[in-house]
Chain A
């Protein structure tokens, strides 16, 4: 069975600061993928970034980067230079095999001016 743990229910960050959202995972699959999604108050799920378990380099997408530490089973999301529009729920998720995604409970990020 797969499990995703997000230990930060909520975070307050000052605008323009960098943010790190924590995610740890557990799986017995040797091949897996890790995802981060943003869910604003409007409810849509916005794909941010993907990291494959065999990828040698950490994934980056614009202001988003994924700090992948395989031995520690962690896949933290880093948002550089945070903006007010970054305020939202953030979900870490995992995919193993041919299945859908297993999600963590999420972190509610609030960016303060």
Chain B
């Protein structure tokens, strides 16, 4: 399976500022995704990071708030812009590993963000 790293692992930020989260994969992957997990909640898909084109956002998430870059097949960034305390969450990237007979999705370790 792919090995995924994220930076930073955690951060405490002031409201009104922005944070960029990096996701690095040890192999080329076609599909990369970004998720949010609010405290005590399940995971919610933010967007699909498309290589060479704009990300595809889910309902309730917009590019101005969560700009995403995908410059190549092993790397993506998610920026959380103009942060408020409601943005305090764990942000996770995931990749899809298309094996011979299945589509397995693996997650990075997550970035724990606290906004004060």
Interface residues of A (CB under 8 A from B): 33, 35, 37, 43-45, 47, 50, 52, 91, 93, 95, 98-106
Contacts and interface: CB of A to CB of B under 8 A. Distances in A.
A47 B106 contact: yes
B42 A44 contact: no
A36 B22 CA distance: 25
| Tier of interface size on chain B | 20 to 34
12 contacts: A33-B102, A33-B103, A43-B109, A43-B110, A44-B110, A45-B43, A47-B106, A100-B35, A100-B45, A100-B58, A103-B42, A106-B42
Contact of B45 (A47, A50, A101): A101
Contact of B109 (A33, A44, A101): A44
Interface in B62-110: 90, 92, 94, 101-107, 109-110
A99 B107 CA distance: 15
B39 to A, nearest CB: 11
A65 to B, nearest CB: 15
A97 B42 CA distance: 21
Contact of B44 (A37, A52, A98, A103): A103
Given A50-B103, A99-B48, A104 B109 contact: no
Contact of B105 (A95, A98, A105): A95
A102 B45 contact: yes
A101 B42 contact: no
A45 B92 contact: yes
A47 B104 contact: yes
Nearest to B110: A43
Given A98-B31, A100-B33, A100-B35, A91 B43 contact: yes
A50 B107 contact: no
A50 B100 CA distance: 13
A99 B45 contact: yes
A47 B102 contact: no
B15 interface: no
Contacts of A100: 33, 35, 45, 48, 58, 94, 105
